Amino acid sequence: MSFILDNIARLAFALGILVGVQAPNVVTQYEQRVAAHLSEVTRNFAGFQKIANEHFRGNIDQFISHHEKSADPVFKAEVVPIRKLWQRLQHLRAEQAALSGGFVAKLTHVAFSADPDLHKETLNGYVATVPLTTTAIACGLIAAFLLGTFVDGLLAGLNAVFDQLRARRHRRHRT
Q: Report the C-alpha dihedral over residues 14, 16, 17, 21, rounded to 10 degrees.
A: 150
- Does pTM top 0.75 for this prediction? no
pLDDT, tens digit, for every residue of 12-51? 888 888 888 888 999 999 999 999 999 999 999 999 999 9
